[in-house]
Amino acid sequence: MKNFLQENKLTKAVLLAVMASTMAACGGLSEDGANGTAGNDGAAGNQGTPGTDGTAGSDGRDGSDAYLPRVEFSSIPVPASDAEKQSIQSTTTVTIDGVAQNVNFTQLMATGDQNNGEVFC
């Protein structure tokens, strides 16, 4: 074929013209045009499998012990007579967490007292 193209200048010219037009049709000899408009997004895909659990966090602080105050009432003598047994006796001091405080007894009602039209039994 080498000899054929060298001898036949018309065939050579036609082949070159066909190649040039093919390149031009495929964009080989011209610049790119502007991009077209973007297409619509595709449908959402399936959800993937869950990942592995993370590592455990560090331990929290130890809590404090519950507060329970120490309460002590001062002693009173044991009633010996019938009159002492029937009288109201009460302590006069209470110690809370080592701090002594004075206390008093106030009688609100006694058996037989009436309040609001009712008798306390």
The two three-digit tokens of residue 92, written as one number: 């006069």
User: Could you tell me how far CA 99 lies from the centroid of its own chain?
Assistant: 44
- DSSP code of residue 118: E
Higher pLDDT, 79 or 32: 79
Query: Where is mean pLDDT largest: 16-20, 27-31, 91-95, 116-120?
Result: 91-95
pLDDT above 70 coverage of the chain, percent: 80
Rounded Cα distance between 57 and 54, Å, is 9
Q: In the beta sheet, which residues pair with residue 102?
A: 93
Residue 84 has pLDDT above 90, yes or no: yes
| pLDDT computed for residue 13 by the predictor | 73
**3-state SS record for 48-108:** CCCCCCCCCCCCCCCCCCCCCCCEEECCCCCCCCHHHHHCCCCCCEEEECCEEEECCCCCC
pLDDT at residue 29 is higher than 60: no
Residue 74: the pLDDT is 94
Tokens of 50: 């869950």
Please report, for the chain, the start and end positions of each structural domain, with discontinuous segments joined by +.
71-119
CA–CA distance, 88 with 93 (Å, rounded to integer)? 16
User: What predicted TM-score, i.e. pTM, was given to this entire model?
Assistant: 0.38
Q: Is the pLDDT of residue 97 over 90?
A: yes
Mean pLDDT over 29-35 rounds to 70
Mind listing the pLDDT tens digit for each residue in 54-76? 999 999 899 888 888 999 999 99
For residue 93, give the nearest of 78, 77, 73 by alpha carbon. Answer: 73
